Amino acid sequence: MPENVHYLREAARSRRTAPTTAALFADDPDGAQLNELLDAIYEGPATRPPWSDALHVLQRRLDAAHVALILRPPMADAFGTMIHIGSEDAAAMESYTKHLFALDPFVHLREGDVVTPEELIGEKWLDGPIYRDYLKPLDVRYLLGADFYTPDGIECRLRITRPHGASPFGEDERALVRFVLPHLKRSLRQQVREELLECERQLLAGTVNRMALGVINLGADGSVLDMNDEAKRILGERDGIILTPAGLSSESLQTRRDLHRLIELAVNKPESRAPGVADAMPIVRPSGRSRLAVLVKPVPPGAWPDHHSRPAAMLFVRDPEANAPSGAQELARRLLGLTRVETRLAMFLTEGHSLDETADLMNIRRNTARTHLRSIFSKTGVTRQTMLVRLMLKSVFTLG
């Protein structure tokens, strides 16, 4: 009988005779061990390394020498990602991830099957380079494997070993691995979704920072939960708006009252206003610099119960004298087809300077500035300075 046919029949027979969950945890009447295992799996993304606690539980439960979760299999141009529990041999691990992985036949297992290399490949497995050059030096004799795949294209491999002199893996151990696989897969898929959301959050947060817009998340009691870098810079100057142990404040009594009123209205009475409506106020700076612009907007209530880390409102603060984002001039030059001198002139005008003030800032003659402005008009298709400023403000270069 061909070995692969024998493997398929044995796998089907094992699934039919697999112990039930109750039988798997018969020695765990109060469910403590089952809860420990499931908690470790679903808390896996938060541990470092990920899922290491769950692998430790499996190692104890299966009396294993090693347990490895390969989250990204090695490839010719990348080492891959493996979470490994058990003694390690750095040289052997490096040898596998660099070249032996290409010779490994114990891969791409059918999802749901928990098998040994002998069942899949036959006894010739023990004569192959993976066992001879990689596993045997690590004192690995018995190997149990299972793979699972996600709709996102992720291939994961779970590998469990026992040393020479130990007993082979039995049906109870296989059944436990089968029980674990769908939970690991579900936990991994949840982590993928959370990573996508985190990537989007970081991208948007970075964009807001580059737009020189301060963002402060406020709790239900008006306390500051967190803020972005631009908000930290503005508050760090303590010029008009300050952060105290009691929350946001101001040295001006009237400003402090107005600011607290805006915050209280946003966090305590969001239902009294139409969705998306925000309140705003200027804040005069004692230094005499341009006034800060503050906008407070309530965060709509979610479908889930509120918690302390969920913001009830967001406060946006802009400093009109903030420097242009790093790299913005180069992006504007490329997007609008301007020279570097023309770009500098356009940026100064966008920041609110007059043409004469811009000429002084650039240390050029006023007639030269007017010549550059006419060239900018010709290249951008605008005919007035106000149109140029509007074009610049609506351009995507501020996102860079």
Strand partners, 154: none
Answer yes or no: are the C-beta atoms of 59 and 67 closer than 8 Å.
Answer: yes
- Give the tens place of pLDDT for each residue, 12-28: 455 545 566 666 777 77
Strand partners, 66: 161
* Chain-centroid distance, C-alpha 357: 44
Structure tokens at 84: 């490994």
Q: How confident is the model at residue 252 (pLDDT cuts 50, 70, 90)?
A: very high
- Give the tens place of pLDDT for each residue, 284-326: 999 998 899 999 999 887 666 666 678 999 999 988 887 666 5
For residue 19, CA distances in Å to 10, 34, 115 come to 15, 15, 16
Answer yes or no: are the C-beta atoms of 179 and 199 closer than 8 Å.
Answer: no
Higher local confidence (pLDDT), 387 or 102: 387
Q: How confident is the model at residue 398 (pLDDT cuts 50, 70, 90)?
A: low
Mark 196-229 as b/e (b = at least 16 C-beta within 10 Å). eeeeeeeeeeeebbbebbbbbbbbbebbbeebbe
Residue with tokens 């003694």: 87
- Mean pLDDT value of segment 357-364: 91
Q: What is the largest CA-CA distance in the chain?
A: 94
DSSP reduced 3-state for 220 = coil
Residue 233 CA to residue 137 CA, distance in Å, equals: 56
The pLDDT, as a whole number, for residue 307 is 63
Mark 280-306 as b/e (b = at least 16 C-beta within 10 Å). eeebbbeeeeeebebbbbbbeeeeeee
Mean pLDDT of all residues in the chain?
A: 85
Is the per-residue pLDDT at 7 higher than 50?
no
**Structural domains for the chain:** 3-195 (3.30.450.80), 212-318 (3.30.450), 328-399 (1.10.10.10)
What is the value of pTM for the model shown?
0.67
- Give the tens place of pLDDT for each residue, 320-349: 887 666 567 788 888 888 999 999 899 888
Task: Give the DSSP H or E segment for 314.
Answer: strand 313-318
The pLDDT, as a whole number, for residue 89 is 75
